[in-house]
């Protein structure tokens, strides 16, 4: 029985409700008055339900689709301005006891080298990431209770936060690790994690059980209810996502939104971020063998419809996507991207030898962070290294209310400008610095409040004189 408030996975991600949603969307995909009215409702920027957003996703009318894209673009501008937050993944360990059929870390893969970073390795990798200019990391690991223990994660987080190197410090450590217990989530929160990220992979239970035939991840309910336990453990910033390509995208889209609705209903705070990864080739994985892949047009439509449905939720695109695809979807709703990423265990401070490749999937966008930053700025985006909200305790519902009230613009824009200037001074190539300084000089005029603008100008001057507060 569908119940958005229920604590049981199969109630809040209810199969019958998703099927009814898909049937409703299909019936109404050419119902122009209804679609017009949904676009009008969405323009109020209060979001849409999973049923409503599914109708927009199914819409076949080219003019209305154009309106959907324009609205997504406008909502993105209103809520996030032109800022794009940058981060990098750090793979800690690829030991894994699960049997996920799409992931090369699966237990039966006997030829992929298994690696786990020691605390010394982590220091070296993090210093290499800091030397690129990164301030935010997403820790990644397979699931292995012997090799990848909670103590190991806690030590790693502690190591990372305590590395001081030149002007750099990692200010926000997010973590993408297997579903765990309330007590462990509490420990992660106490260790100072930013967002706890866990992808559902697929919301379709039957497919989920087939795609995860063995190992602890096979337990659909335990996996699907992970964010509820995380919230109970005090982690109020959670990141959800599906791996597009595993099951039918319309099903996944409805499931994602139902998950967001559930978290908001049950805990008063929706997901902090939604990720939209697409399945990629990897060591012993042929993505073409999975028949539910989506093309770039569908991908763009999904991003636009998520933006409209949950305007206050950040959206993440990784280097699984090419420069071209990233360019296409950035303005439709994406607020965070990774740059200069490696998906191998180690590999930031020195490349892995050819015969020791431990990557999780093929990175499509292989550019350096400097190239990504320069590319963003040439398109008039403002790359942001800001982590102020997190450091000042504006997480969970406090962050959401800031975002929903539109106030995010007033504090984020100045912080983005100042952290970008720090990046330019410390890490950028001369050409990136030149482009960035021109952008900052233009953008500072857009700080609405006169007093705030004066403070930002003074801070920028100090940063440029290498005289930081
Ligand atoms: N062990 C954790 C778990 O159980 O969710 C997480 C980690 S894994 C390092 C991060 C994500 O990579 C997975 O959730 C999955 O969606 C994604 N992934 C796995 N195989 C992939 C592939 N072949 N292409 C693209 N993404 C993949």
Q: What is the pLDDT of residues 431-461, one digit of tens each?
A: 999 999 999 999 999 888 888 888 889 999 9
In this predicted structure, what is the pLDDT of residue 253?
Answer: 98
Residue in 277, 284, 344 to alter for ligand 1 test, most ligand atoms within 8 A of Cβ: 277
Name the β-bridge partners of 83.
382
> Whole-number mean pLDDT of the chain?
93
Read off φ and ψ for residue 468, nearest 5 degrees: -85, 150
197 burial via Cβ count (<10 Å: 0-12, 13-18, 19+): buried
In this predicted structure, what is the pLDDT of residue 166?
Answer: 82
Tell me whether strands 336-338 and 193-197 are parallel, antiparallel or unpaired.
Answer: unpaired
In this predicted structure, what is the pLDDT of residue 455?
Answer: 87
Report whether pLDDT(339) > 80.
yes
- Cα three-residue angle 290-293-297, rounded to 5 degrees: 170
In this predicted structure, what is the pLDDT of residue 469?
Answer: 65
In this predicted structure, what is the pLDDT of residue 79?
Answer: 87
Q: Which pLDDT band holds residue 101 (cuts at 50, 70, 90)?
A: very high
pLDDT per residue as tens digits for the range 104-151 = 999 999 989 999 999 999 999 999 999 999 999 999 999 999 999 999
Distance CA 443, CA 438 (A): 9
Q: Which pLDDT band holds residue 410 (cuts at 50, 70, 90)?
A: low
DSSP for residue 314: E
Closest C-alpha among 209, 198, 136 to residue 385: 136
Distance CA 469, CA 466 (A): 10
Q: Is 401 left (phi over 0), alpha (psi -120 to 50) or beta?
A: alpha
Q: Which pLDDT band holds residue 394 (cuts at 50, 70, 90)?
A: low
Residue in 139, 360, 362, 363 to alter for ligand 1 test, most ligand atoms within 8 A of Cβ: 360
In this predicted structure, what is the pLDDT of residue 133?
Answer: 95
In this predicted structure, what is the pLDDT of residue 395?
Answer: 60
Mean pLDDT of 187-209: 98
Mean pLDDT of 292-318: 97
CA of residue 143 to ligand 1 center, whole Å? 11
pLDDT per residue as tens digits for the range 221-271 = 999 999 999 999 999 999 999 999 999 999 999 999 999 999 999 999 999
Read off φ and ψ for residue 448, nearest 5 degrees: -65, -45
Residue that the structure tokens 């409700």 belong to: 17
Tell me whether strands 172-176 and 382-384 are parallel, antiparallel or unpaired.
Answer: unpaired
pLDDT over 70 percentage in the chain:
95
Closest C-alpha among 225, 321, 313, 326 to residue 274: 313
Distance CA 345, CA 117 (A): 7
In this predicted structure, what is the pLDDT of residue 80?
Answer: 87
The residue ranges of DSSP E strands in 243-292, in sequence order, are 273-275
* DSSP-derived secondary structure for 304-368: HHHHHH-TTSEEEE-TTS-HHHHHHHHHHH--EEE-S---SBS-SSSPPPGGG---SS--S----
Atom of ligand 1 nearest to the CA of 91: 9
CA of residue 103 to ligand 1 center, whole Å? 6
Residue that the structure tokens 């940058």 belong to: 86
Structure tokens at 284: 């012993």
The residue ranges of DSSP E strands in 226-285, in sequence order, are 238-241, 273-275
Closest C-alpha among 182, 291, 190, 303 to residue 242: 303
Question: What ipTM did this prediction achieve?
Answer: 0.98
Report whether pLDDT(386) > 90.
no
In this predicted structure, what is the pLDDT of residue 360?
Answer: 84
Question: Which residues lie below 8 Å from residue 142, measured CB to CB, with a gap of 6+?
Answer: 93, 94, 95, 96, 97, 98, 105, 148, 178
Report whether pLDDT(412) > 90.
no
The distance in angstroms from the start CA to the end CA of the chain is 56
Q: Which pLDDT band holds residue 404 (cuts at 50, 70, 90)?
A: low
In this predicted structure, what is the pLDDT of residue 452?
Answer: 82
Pocket of ligand 1 (CB under 6 A): 102-103, 140, 142-143, 176-178, 198-199, 201, 217, 243, 277, 279-280, 282, 285, 320, 360-361
Report whether pLDDT(311) > 90.
yes
Closest C-alpha among 318, 305, 228, 314 to residue 278: 318
Mean pLDDT of 9-33: 98
Read off φ and ψ for residue 223, nearest 5 degrees: -70, -45
Read off φ and ψ for residue 413, nearest 5 degrees: -60, -50
Report whether pLDDT(408) > 60.
no
Please name the helix (run of DSSP H) or strand (run of DSSP E) that holds residue 137, with its range, or none.
strand 136-141
Q: Which residue has its alpha carbon closest to ligand 1 atom 3?
A: 178
Distance CA 240, CA 257 (A): 10
pLDDT over 90 percentage in the chain:
84
Name the β-bridge partners of 240.
274
410 burial via Cβ count (<10 Å: 0-12, 13-18, 19+): middle
In this predicted structure, what is the pLDDT of residue 409?
Answer: 58
pTM above 0.90, yes or no: yes
Distance CA 362, CA 342 (A): 9
Residue in 100, 219, 243 to alter for ligand 1 test, most ligand atoms within 8 A of Cβ: 243
């Amino acid at each position: 029985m569908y119940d958005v408030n229920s604590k049981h996975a199969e109630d809040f991600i209810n199969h019958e409700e998703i099927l009814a949603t898909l049937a409703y969307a299909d019936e109404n995909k050419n119902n122009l008055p209804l679609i017009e009215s949904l676009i009008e409702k969405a323009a109020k920027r209060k979001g849409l339900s999973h049923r409503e957003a599914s109708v927009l996703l199914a819409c076949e009318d080219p003019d209305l689709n154009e309106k959907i894209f324009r609205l997504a673009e406008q909502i993105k501008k209103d809520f996030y301005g032109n800022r794009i937050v940058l981060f990098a993944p750090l793979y800690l360990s690829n030991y894994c006891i699960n049997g996920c059929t799409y992931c090369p870390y699966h237990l039966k893969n006997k030829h992929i080298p298994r690696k786990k970073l020691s605390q010394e390795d982590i220091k070296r990798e993090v210093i290499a990431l800091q030397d690129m200019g990164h301030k935010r990391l997403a820790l990644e690991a397979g699931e292995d209770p012997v090799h990848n223990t909670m103590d190991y994660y806690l030590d790693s987080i502690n190591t990372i936060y305590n590395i001081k190197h030149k002007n750099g410090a990692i200010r926000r450590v997010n973590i993408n690790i297997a579903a765990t217990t309330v007590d462990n989530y509490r420990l992660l929160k106490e260790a100072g994690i930013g967002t706890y990220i866990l992808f559902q992979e697929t919301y379709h239970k039957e497919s989920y059980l087939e795609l995860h035939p063995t190992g602890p991840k096979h337990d659909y309910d335990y996996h699907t209810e992970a964010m509820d336990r995380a919230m109970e453990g005090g982690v109020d910033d959670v990141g959800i996502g599906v791996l597009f390509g595993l099951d039918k995208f319309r099903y996944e889209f409805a499931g994602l939104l139902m998950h967001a609705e559930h978290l908001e209903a049950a805990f008063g705070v929706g997901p902090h971020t939604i990720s939209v990864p697409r399945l990629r080739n990897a060591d012993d994985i042929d993505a073409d063998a999975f028949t539910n892949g989506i093309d770039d047009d569908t991908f763009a439509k999904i991003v636009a419809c998520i933006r409209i449905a949950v305007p206050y939720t950040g959206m993440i695109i990784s280097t699984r996507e090419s420069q071209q695809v990233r360019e296409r979807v950035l303005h439709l709703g994406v607020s965070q991207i990774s740059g200069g990423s490696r998906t191998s265990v180690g590999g930031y401070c020195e490349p892995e030898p050819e015969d020791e490749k431990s990557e999780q999937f093929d990175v499509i966008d292989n550019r350096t962070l400097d190239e990504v930053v320069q590319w963003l700025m040439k398109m008039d985006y403002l790359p942001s290294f800001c982590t102020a909200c997190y450091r000042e305790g504006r997480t969970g519902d406090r962050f959401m209310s800031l975002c929903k009230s539109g106030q995010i613009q007033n504090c984020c824009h100045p912080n983005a400008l100042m952290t970008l200037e720090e990046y330019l001074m410390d890490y950028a190539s001369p050409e990136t610095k030149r482009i960035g300084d021109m952008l900052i000089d233009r953008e500072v005029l857009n700080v609405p409040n006169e007093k705030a603008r004066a403070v930002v100008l003074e801070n920028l001057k100090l940063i440029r004189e290498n005289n930081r507060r």
